[in-house]
Amino acid sequence: MKASQEKLYIPEHIGIIMDGNGRWAKKRGLPRPVGHTYGAKTFKTITRYISQQGVKFLTLYAFSTENWKRPLEEVNALMKIFRQYLIDSLTDFREDDIKVVFIGDRSAFAPDIIDMINETEEVAKDRKGMQLNIAMNYGGRDELLSAVKRLCLEAKEGGIDPSAITEQDISSRLYTAGQPDPDLIIRTGGEHRLSNFMLYQAAYAEFYSTDTLWPDFKPEDVDKAILEFNKRNRRFGGV
């Protein structure tokens, strides 16, 4: 970040909806999967840059529960990119001391992808730097449904009093249990919606949208988002 911005407050947790890979490719007359390949490169660059700014948690929306509805060719291409990333991730971010965690329902993926996810988390579990949450087969509603089912089961078994359930009881059963809620959510590609991303956790997050498509998103775009974040007056429901 530029020297003039050094005194800015750095969000503790940033979430990014990485949108626009397909449109980026279409604008260039290329197949949509090519956009995802370029987007994967941006993913690594931006993750490292955000870590260097002192952010403690970064959550990237990589593949939603709704993305399975996309054309089979595109889904297969995404799975190929995931496999390559997971192979690379065994060494990626090691020097940056970034801890890698996957959030979402991983049971829907092929067995080899699940094995690589587990191995990646195991290799990175003792790192002390920024925690990178990669949201794969993730949906905010699905996450809440899973948490509610767990609470219902615990109540049925007598482990919890339904009338005493608190917000903390819910948040502690989400994929992001133990993490602070995001301060800032960035969406690339020009859309202005959460698209089922961190619905519970985003209650008081500041939202920043940019027309820049994800493959074109640069470190200076991160700077712009953090600068804008610092201009917001966060009242959390107060005056």
List the pLDDT tens digit at each of the 239 positions of the chain: 554 445 899 999 999 999 999 999 999 999 999 999 999 999 999 999 999 999 999 999 999 999 999 999 999 999 999 998 888 877 888 889 999 999 999 999 999 999 999 999 999 999 999 999 999 999 999 999 999 999 999 999 998 999 999 999 999 999 999 999 999 999 999 999 999 999 999 999 999 999 999 999 999 999 999 999 999 987 776 65
Is 67 an annotated catalytic residue? yes
| Full-model pTM | 0.92
Outline where DSSP puts E strands in 139-182.
none
Is 19 an annotated catalytic residue? yes
- Give the active site residue among 67, 216, 223, 230: 67
The pLDDT of residue 115: 95
- Burial (CB < 10 A; 0-12, 13-18, 19+), residue 158, is exposed
- Give the active site residue among 19, 92, 142, 181: 19
Distance CA 143, CA 196 (A): 10
Domain residue extents for the chain: 11-139+181-230
Per-residue pLDDT tens digits for 100-112: 999 999 999 999 9
The topology under which CATH files domain 11-139+181-230 is Undecaprenyl pyrophosphate synthetase (3.40.1180)
- Burial (CB < 10 A; 0-12, 13-18, 19+), residue 3, is exposed
Per-residue pLDDT tens digits for 55-75: 999 999 999 999 999 999 999
Phi, psi (degrees; rounded to nearest 5) at 203:
-50, -40
Distance CA 103, CA 54 (A): 22
